[in-house]
Structure 1
Amino acid sequence: MNAPEKLPPLDSAELGRFVDAAWRERIVPQLTEYIAVPAKSPLFDPDWQARGLIDKVVRDAAAWVESRKVPGLTLEVIRAEGRTPVIFFELPATKAGSTQTVLMYGHLDKQPEFSGWRSDLGPWTPKIDDGKLYGRGGADDGYAIYAAVSAIEALKAQNVPHPRIVGLIESCEESGSFDLPFYLDKLQGRLGDVSLVVCLDSGAGNYDQLWLTTSLRGNITGTLKVEILTEGIHSGDASGLVPSSFRILRQVLDRLEDSSTGNLLPSVFHCEIPADRVVQARATADILGDEVWKRYPWACGADGGAALPTTTDPVEALLNRTWRPTLSVTGVDGLPPLSNAGNVLRPFTAFKLSLRLPPLVPGHEAAVALKSLLEDNAPYNAKVTFQPDGRVGDWGATGWNAPSTTPWLETALNAASRTHFGEPLGYIGQGGTIPLMNLLQQGFPKAQMMVCGVLGPKSNAHGPNEFLHLAYGQRLTAAVAEVIAAHP
């Protein structure tokens, strides 16, 4: 009988030094160039093809990976007519007997600019300040492909055996990943037997330990429009007789939301919170305490103190932002700026809605229900329309609830966190949406999920002053390498 293979030991200290040098010498300079490119996702830039900026960041990332000349790694940029491109890379296993695949994921498209950036910052003006790299898209999550490949390089530098690894980097995630099912189907035969997904598009509860994402909310976005006139009329002439389109819109939204509490009224948008997620929320609340809600940039309140959240109970705060549905109004049309607001009763009001769904609520079914709820029986027989974003028949994004973590992965994650952060692994649900995770869970129901990211306190993805915490990114990269090395 042959003796079992003796694997070379992984020198964690040397791995950390390799990763730190990779970030300092190669990743940060590349991310600085990436941030300067306004490669907005197709939902926010319908002319993305003609503009060529998404293609640019994809080409730049592919060229960077190829320049690293990782032994055995092959890369392809896959394009299809009318669709955003994806990067697919592949690395054969060097661990004897390994037949399974690790899939690494990230994206390169970005959210739009938004307003309110510090006077010395800007969305497309990269700047390092106090160990943070500011600018749109660096943390969400342009760093992912560079961190993933550097983690692989760190293992190669020590000749540490690894399983087969593939990478999938898309470029329409911020638009709901509407092209991703096409590419997953196209690549089905090349992905292999995926046993572990490493997704670097998530967040962290603090910057002191490794955080594993346990759930993601789904999302419905779309435009709610109320039309009452064909043109604006002098408010002195029409008000009192012509109902305000804004008031009608408020009435319609009252069907959906209790404005005094923010609770969504229809049961179709709710689900029961699993008992184990409540237990984890309590443990996370013990770690984070009031920082769960104090981390946000609160305005000055009416009494001179800070404005207040919906709850100051850390457990309820965590559950509210991860397992309960919530409505946000993210844009408006039909309202002139204050400087140009004359005495006119406006013909229409339109709101851009973003409705976050609990992880277990099907996105498309919820979107159909929302459309019916908002449009039916319009007050004053006004023209009320709700147009969900996305392709007809594929509205809304379904959330994700992680499978139970196997012992090997839980042990590896804890060890990686203690080695590179000095603290144990933390568990946290995220309020955002990564459509890929639900798709992959369906396609690879037995796969384990390492969903992590650099979006910690005040990193503010999508908003002003978005930043990437550089030290955290370095340690996360090292932790990813440790986990891949531990893959059985």
Structure 2
Amino acid sequence: MPDLRDTLPAAVDAALPAARADLETLVRIPSIWADPDHAEDTRRSAEAIAGLARAAGAADVRVLSVEDGAPAVVASWPAPEGAPTILLYAHHDVQPTGGDEHWTSPPFEPTERGGRLYGRGAADDKAGVLTHLTVLRAYQAVQGGPPIGVTLFIEGEEESGSPTLTAFLAEHRDLLACDAIVIADSANPAVDVPALTTSLRGLVDLTIEVAMLERPVHSGVYGGPVGDALTALCRTLASLHDELGEVAVGGLAQGTSAAPDFDEATFRSDVGLLDGVELIGTGTIPERSWQKPAVAVLGIDAPRVDEVSNVLLPRARAAVSLRLAPGDDTRKAQDALAEHLKAHVPWGAKVTITPGHGIAEPFSLDAAGSVYDMARRAFADAYGNDVVEVGVGGSIPFIAEFARTFPGAAVLVTGVGDPASRWHGIDESVHLGMFRTAVLAEAYLLAELAG
């Protein structure tokens, strides 16, 4: 009788055409939960995934939400006697497009070019959704179902910061109880190099408003002795970095990384940095990206250039985002950012700081233990290369929430993206060859967990 693992590559390959078609179907649904105009699209997306879970043999499928929350899908394949249960997580909501006109092909019309499938959500995170479902279809074909218990949890508001996830986990904790968790919402450093993400930066944000005048006044008559709020705001924001580009806000945590430095030319190409533009900060690129804080001005309320008048602006406002190194505290960091800005407002201008709601705790884990060893074997067998441990500069706030809710479960953070995927950006895509490998790796992992 053939070993279970020996049957999986052919089963995965047989399941891929339908998986590709279903991924394209999901990409065509503009499930932008953050935009109220797409609330119904997000519900259509959830219902479509629920249908795919039923077709993959789930014993129980539910579309659930808590008050003010997005629709999520929870489906279950009960564990055989004595077998563990794994929770497979992904999310089906997507980012806004950033302007359809900037895309090479329409963002919600999946298009293949050069072995990659382009479309909003193709990588983040509908490829994660289909990775899980394709594994389950492969096992359905091989032996009628997975060799261990599986709970599929597809969230609908991750791109909005998972604001109701805490309430959702509290209400449905028993339904989601598990021995291990696979979160398919990260990325690999290359299409043929598998990764386990072991650290994530946190996130805080705020809005700063600078006021100098009761009303706009003529820039010619009063300019000189009287300043304008927008210039004062710009000078304040310029204080956030020192001359090397290091974050100048005091009291923030910083770490180091033993990871090999990235090739700068490749990194610049992946980012799309213009010729002659310098990298900012100090240390290796992994340290700057994963283990040090980063601050950015995300937006400014100001008149459009083609709509200006010759007046001194009385007020100006900006949104500021701060990424936190693992080990930092969100409340202390948000306070430190606010105090820094207040201290650097020039000319006695009045300042108002409004804390934002985009709070995400930084997270790190020690990937040691039998489940992680099994994952390393499974992923190395599928990819043909050893697993590397990586950090992620972005924030995935729900991971810490999962770890708190299920403290005995090993958390494996994986993904179906690579540096060329352009998550959240223009021309987002997933590498189709890596998608196949990611499915096989997860199928091998379930076999490992089954012993």
Whether TM exceeds 0.5 here: the answer is yes
Trace 1:62-211 onto structure 2 (pairs within 5 A): 62-66=50-54, 68-70=55-57, 72-94=58-80, 96-98=81-83, 100-115=84-99, 120-159=104-143, 162-192=147-177, 194-211=178-195
Contact 1:219 1:433 in 2 (8 A): yes
Q: Distance in 2 between matches of 1:80 and 1:181?
A: 10
Shift of residue 19, structure 1, vs aligned partner:
2.4
CA RMSD of aligned residues (A): 2.6
How many residues are treated as equivalent by the alignment? 449
Contact 2:247 2:294 in 1 (8 A): yes
State the SS of the aligned residue for 2:280: coil
TM-score (norm 2): 0.90
Shift of residue 133, structure 1, vs aligned partner:
1.2
Shift of residue 483, structure 1, vs aligned partner:
0.9
State the SS of the aligned residue for 2:385: coil
Q: Do residues 345 (structure 1) and 312 (structure 2) align?
A: yes
Trace 1:361-440 onto structure 2 (pairs within 5 A): 361-375=328-342, 378-390=345-357, 396-410=359-373, 412-440=374-402
Give the % identical residues.
Answer: 27
Q: Deviations over 1:80-132 (max 9, x none)?
A: 332222211111112x422x431111111221221486563233332111111
Contact 1:330 1:351 in 2 (8 A): yes
- 1:245 is matched with 229
Among candidates 33, 43, 54, match of residue 42 of structure 2? 54
Q: Do residues 229 (structure 1) and 218 (structure 2) align?
A: no
- 2:244 is matched with 261
State the SS of the aligned residue for 2:46: helix
The one-letter amino acid paired with 1:19 is V
Contact 2:296 2:322 in 1 (8 A): yes
Q: 1:217 to 1:468 in 2, by over 3 A?
A: same
**Residues 100-109 or 221-230, more deviating:** 221-230
Shift of residue 144, structure 1, vs aligned partner:
2.0
Contact 1:414 1:424 in 2 (8 A): yes
Contact 1:39 1:54 in 2 (8 A): yes
TM-score (norm 1): 0.84
Contact 1:367 1:396 in 2 (8 A): no
Shift of residue 294, structure 1, vs aligned partner:
4.2
Q: Distance in 2 between matches of 1:262 and 1:351?
A: 19
- 1:38 is matched with 30
Q: Distance in 2 between matches of 1:37 and 1:347?
A: 43
Q: Deviations over 1:174-200 (max 9, x none)?
A: 1111110000000112222x3211001
Among candidates 291, 296, 299, match of residue 328 of structure 1? 296
Shift of residue 377, structure 1, vs aligned partner:
8.0
Q: 1:191 to 1:325 in 2, by over 3 A?
A: same
The one-letter amino acid paired with 1:101 is T
Q: Deviations over 1:423-481 (max 9, x none)?
A: 22122111111111111122223322221112212211111111111111111111011
Q: Deviations over 1:21-75 (max 9, x none)?
A: 43322x2222223323332232xx2x357x4222121122212222x141x5311
State the SS of the aligned residue for 2:430: strand
State the SS of the aligned residue for 2:337: helix
Structure 2 unaligned spans of 5+: none
Q: 1:21 to 1:346 in 2, by over 3 A?
A: farther
Contact 2:199 2:392 in 1 (8 A): yes
Q: Do residues 298 (structure 1) and 270 (structure 2) align?
A: no
